Amino acid sequence: MNTQHFLTLDDLSTKTLQSIIDRAIDLKSLQNDGAIYEPLKNQSLAMIFNKASTRTRVSFEVAMQQLGGTSINLNPSETQIGRGEVIKDTARVISSMVDGIMIRTDSHAKLEEFASYSTVPVINGLTDDYHPCQLLADLQTVQELRGSAVGCTMAWIGDGNNVCHSFMNAARLFGFELQIATPIGYEPSSEVVARNNSSIRLSNDPREAASNADVIITDTWSSMGQEDEKNERNNAFTGFCVDQALMRLAKKDAIFLHCLPAYRGCEVSEEVIEGPQSAVFQEAENRLHAQKALLEFLMKG
Ligand code: CP
Ligand code: NVA
C-alpha cells in the first residue's frame, strides 16, 4: 500500500478530513478532562524546520508527547541537510528510523520529492504554497463556534499566500464560499484559482469581500522568505487592514481568524485581534488538538 502523506488537504477525502476534525474536538475534551491517551507509544516523529516556527513546533512536539511518543527536532544547520545531502538520501535514511516526518520548508516541490522517497507519512508543516495543518485547526475552530463550515461565507483579506491557498482548497472540499480580496499583483496562484474556481470570488476590494461574511481571515502581508519586500508590501497593502470598520460589514456574529504571528497595525488592528469577535487564541490552541488527530490517523496504523 502507498504511504499516506499530508502535503495538501487534497491528500485526504472530505470525509476523512471531517473525521479528523471531529476527532480533534474529542481529543481536546479528553485532554481537558485529564485523560491519558497514548496510542503512539514507542513511535517517533522527526521534525525538520527550514523556517522559523512557534505554534507548529510546540504543537507537534507536545502532541507527540501527549500521544505517548517522542519527537526529534532536526535543525537543518546542525544536520547534514544544511551541508547539501540530497533530499532522496535524507528521506530514505530518516524514514527508515522514525514513524512520521513533519517538514516546514520553502519549496513545495522539494517537500513532494522528500515524500516520494519516504517510507513513512510526511506532513506539510508549511511551504511557500500551502499550510494544510493550519486549516485543520481553523476548520475545527469554525465548527466549534459556528457549528459547521458548510454553507458559510468566509472572507480572506490580504495576501494571496500559502494559507490563502489552503483556505481555497478547503472552500471546495467543505462547501463554503471564500470571498478573497487582495491588492492588484498579490492574487493567489492562477493554478490554485483554477482548481477552486467555483468556491471562490476574487476582488481587489476588502469591503466587498468582508460584506456579509461569517468569518473574516487575514495573515501577514510579508510571509517568511519575503522579508526584503516588506516596505513595498506595506505600501501595496494600504487599506487592507482588518479593522472595526471592516468587521462591521460582516455578519454581526462574525468571527475573526488569523494563523499568527500577527502584526498589529498592519494586517489587523489591535482592537480587532483583542476584541470579542477574535478567535485567534482558540485557533492557535486547536493546532495541538487537530494535529493530535492527524498524527493518530496517519501513524496509529
Ligand atoms: N501559524 C503558524 O504556523 O505559526 P508558527 O509559524 O509559529 O508555527
Ligand atoms: N503566510 C505566513 C504564515 C506563517 C504561519 C508565512 O508563510 O510566513
pLDDT digits (tens, 9 = 90+) for 208-266: 999 999 999 999 999 999 999 999 999 999 999 999 999 999 999 999 999 999 999 99
Place of cell 547534514: 80
Q: Which long-range contacts (CB under 8 A, 24 or more apart) does 183-186 make?
A: 183/236, 183/237, 183/240, 185/236, 186/159, 186/160, 186/233, 186/236, 186/237
Q: Does ligand 2 lie within 6 Å of residue 44's CB atom?
A: no
Residues marked active site are found at 104, 131, 134, 219, 259, 287
- Look at the domain 135-283 and name its fold: Rossmann fold (3.40.50)
Determine the pLDDT at residue 1. 61
Listed as ranges, residues in the chain with pLDDT below 50 are none
Question: For 278, which DSSP code?
Answer: B
Which burial class, exposed, middle or buried, applies to 91 when counting CB atoms under 10 A from its CB (0-12, 13-18, 19+)? buried
Determine the pLDDT at residue 166. 99
pLDDT in tens, 146-166: 999 999 999 999 999 999 999
Measured CA distances, 177 to 12, 20, 132, 163, 169 (Å): 20, 22, 18, 16, 11
Q: How far apart are CA 35 and CA 154, in angstroms?
A: 35
> Which atom in ligand 2 lies closest to the alpha carbon of residue 162?
1
Pinpoint the residues of the chain covered by CATH 3.40.50.1370: 9-131+287-300, 135-283
Determine the pLDDT at residue 129. 98
Tell how far the Cα of 5 is from the centroid of ligand 2, in angstroms: 21
Q: Does ligand 2 lie within 6 Å of residue 219's CB atom?
A: yes
Determine the pLDDT at residue 149. 97
Q: Does ligand 1 lie within 6 Å of residue 104's CB atom?
A: no
Closest CA to 45 of 104, 120, 110: 120
| Domain 9-131+287-300: CATH class, spelled out | alpha beta
